[in-house]
């Protein structure tokens, strides 16, 4: 359903009996434990904060807004490193047939592992954050790394990847072209692809990447318990290829079954491949093409990950698309908190879910969506600030210089 007065669009999913086979297979409960056990061994690992925004939630009429703040995750400014590092760990474990009892971060760094592995070049395409995480993890483990980026990737993002010793190549076209090219070149040069998106015959690594993300969710559950909250009632998650969103909904559906939080997936309107797949509604993932021209660089993906789609089609309650100014508004709200709420640094892809939530709570035209999602004073809404200031120039352009303003007809009328 869409509302022509609004720039946001949505599709509500009707679920009868949900088929959770894919979610169960990819996200059994013990996977989050395993992934967290691994991440805990990495020097510099800390649980990322779960921040409450009580004044903002009161202003917009929900019971609580909780932000899992990934801006400082292992100094990489984004949750993405959780997936890449766990995938490298599992890749080496499988390659060398190392039993669980023997696996540790320290063992991965050992001469024994290095000698048995020989020289491996890890490779990936990225729209920024994933490549940075892979470069970081490969450098830590002492392996070369090649990252392909698309032509529109900002220099700051490229420099950040290079700073971890990776070779970066710029590919003509968009993110999906970079993914295709790295597959071709890896076959040619014998590189090992560590991709967060999946394709026919390439599923093990993307599964490990999604599993790695569950560390963040296991942390959040512990943090909710400490606050006396059993679970969020709602989770808003931003999506590019859908791997993060699948990890979130897969995790919660395994943990809580029919009581899982209501899940809303948010995409940029110019790169809305999951929304489009839900619209076609034949059970298959569908691509959108074009320049994928959005300020939400991390979400500028035109092809869903088929593995992620298998989980999402059964577990998502609403697919929502928003224009760029909604993400910019989310960034500004995080950066100028109401008195008593914490200050949060959030990049374009990180802030879009707050922008979407506020739009849904505030715009008259979104009332039907708000009601269908049962967003009210009893709701405890989890948002993931999936990145901090990953592109400082763009960040200042939006926060200081006011680029991507909210159009006048969407200004708030509240006091
Ligand atoms: C900051 C940020 N948030 C969210 C996402 C979305 O992740 P996915 O592509 O798994 O949907 C990305 C992907 O790169 C990202 O960089």
Flag whether pLDDT at 400 surpasses 50. Answer: yes
Residue (of 350, 333, 330) closest to 390 by Cα position: 350
Distance from C-alpha of 383 to C-alpha of 298, rounded to nearest angstrom? 16
**Interhelix angle for 204-226 vs 29-40, to 10°?**
90
Is residue 80 part of the annotated active site? The answer reads yes
Q: Residue range 141-158: average pLDDT?
A: 94
Share of the chain above pLDDT 70, in %: 98
80 lines ligand 1 (CB under 6 A): yes
Q: Residues 292-311: pLDDT tens digits?
A: 999 999 999 999 999 999 99
Q: Which residue's CA is minimally distant from atom 5 of ligand 1?
A: 298
* Domains of the chain listed by start with CATH number: 9-78+211-410 (3.40.50.1100), 80-204 (3.40.50.1100)
Residue by residue, DSSP assigns 140-165 as HHT--EEEEEETT--HHHHHHHHTTT
273: Cβ below 6 Å to ligand 1? no
Rounded to whole angstroms, the Cα distance separating 192 from 203 reads: 13
pLDDT of residue 41: 96
Which pLDDT does position 85 carry in this prediction? 96
The yes-or-no verdict on residue 345 having pLDDT over 90 is: yes
- Is any ligand 1 atom within 6 A of the Cβ of residue 64? no
pLDDT in tens, 163-194: 999 999 999 999 999 999 999 999 999 999 99
pLDDT above 50: residue 1: no
The predicted pLDDT at position 415 comes to 64
pLDDT band at 75 (very low <50, low <70, confident <90, very high): confident
Instruction: Say what the pTM is.
Output: 0.97
Spacing, Cα 169 to ligand 1 middle (Å):
20
pLDDT attached to residue 177: 94
363 CA distance to ligand 1 centroid (A)? 26
Q: Determine the distance separating the centroid of ligand 1 and the alpha carbon of 385, expressed in angstroms.
A: 11
The model's confidence at residue 4, banded by pLDDT at 50, 70 and 90, is very low
246 — phi, psi (to 5°)? Answer: -65, -40
pLDDT at 19 over 80: yes
Distance 377 CA to ligand 1 centre (A): 29
Inform me whether the pLDDT recorded for 414 exceeds 80.
no
- The reply to whether ligand 1 has any atom less than 6 angstroms from the CB of 329 is no
Helical segments of 61-203, H only: 80-96, 105-108, 111-117, 129-141, 155-162, 175-189
Sign for the CA dihedral angle at 385, 219, 266, 287 comes to: positive
The closest residue, in CA terms, to atom 10 on ligand 1 is: 243
When mean pLDDT is compared across 71-75, 91-95, 259-263, 302-306, the lowest value belongs to: 71-75
> In the predicted model, what is the mean pLDDT of residues 121-135?
95
pLDDT given at position 413: 75
CA gap 335, 379 in Å, rounded: 23
User: What is the atom index within ligand 1 of the atom nearest the CA of 242?
Assistant: 11
Pocket test for ligand 1, best of 87, 195, 209, 238 (most atoms within 8 A of CB): 238
The mean per-residue pLDDT over the stretch 213-242 comes to: 97
Is the pLDDT at 43 greater than 60, yes or no? yes
Q: Which residues contact 353 (CB under 8 A, 6 or more apart)?
A: 236, 237, 238, 264, 266, 330, 383, 384
Say if ligand 1 is within 6 A of residue 210 CB. no
CA of 305 to the centre of ligand 1 (A): 12
* Bridge partners of residue 67, in order along the sequence: 51, 383
> Residue 128's pLDDT is what?
84
Query: If you average pLDDT over every residue of the chain, what do you get?
Result: 95
């Amino acid at each position: 359903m869409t509302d022509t007065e609004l720039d946001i669009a949505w599709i509500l999913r009707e679920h009868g009996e949900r088929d959770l086979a894919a979610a169960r297979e990819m996200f059994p409960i013990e996977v989050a434990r395993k992934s967290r056990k691994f991440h805990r061994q990495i020097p510099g690992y800390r649980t990322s904060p779960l921040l409450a925004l009580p004044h903002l939630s009161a202003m917009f009429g929900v019971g609580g807004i909780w932000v899992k703040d990934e801006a400082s995750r292992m100094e990489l400014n984004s949750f993405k490193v959780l997936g890449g590092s766990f995938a490298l760990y599992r890749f080496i474990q499988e390659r060398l047939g190392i039993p669980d009892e023997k696996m540790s971060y320290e063992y991965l760094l050992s001469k024994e592992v290095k000698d048995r592995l020989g020289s491996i070049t890890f490779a990936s395409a990225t729209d920024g954050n994933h490549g940075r995480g892979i470069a970081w993890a490969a450098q830590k483990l002492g392996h070369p790394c090649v990252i392909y980026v698309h032509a529109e990737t900002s220099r700051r993002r490229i420099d950040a990847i290079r700073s971890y010793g990776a070779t970066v190549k710029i590919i003509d076209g968009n993110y999906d072209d970079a993914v295709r090219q790295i597959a071709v070149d890896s076959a040619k040069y014998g590189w090992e692809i560590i991709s967060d998106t999946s394709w026919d015959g390439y599923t093990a690594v993307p599964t490990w990447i999604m599993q790695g993300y569950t560390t963040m969710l296991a942390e959040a559950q512990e943090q909710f318990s400490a606050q006396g909250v059993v679970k969020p009632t709602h989770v808003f998650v931003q999506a590019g290829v859908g791997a993060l969103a699948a990890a979130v909904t897969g995790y919660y559906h395994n943990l809580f079954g029919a009581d899982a939080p209501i899940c809303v997936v948010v995409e940029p309107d110019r790169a809305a491949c999951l929304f489009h797949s839900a619209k076609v509604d034949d059970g298959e993932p569908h691509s959108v093409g074009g320049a994928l021209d959005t300020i939400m660089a991390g979400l500028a993906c035109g092809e869903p990950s088929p593995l992620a789609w298998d989980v999402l089609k059964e577990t998502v309650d609403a697919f929502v698309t928003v224009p760029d100014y909604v993400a910019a508004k989310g960034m500004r709200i995080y950066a100028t908190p109401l008195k008593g709420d914490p200050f949060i640094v959030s990049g374009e892809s990180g802030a879009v879910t707050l922008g979407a939530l506020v739009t849904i709570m505030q715009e008259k035209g979104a009332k039907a969506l708000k009601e269908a999602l049962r967003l009210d004073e009893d709701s405890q809404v989890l948002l993931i600030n999936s990145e901090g200031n990953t592109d400082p120039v763009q960040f200042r352009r939006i926060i200081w210089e006011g680029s991507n303003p909210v159009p006048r007809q969407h200004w708030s009328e509240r006091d």
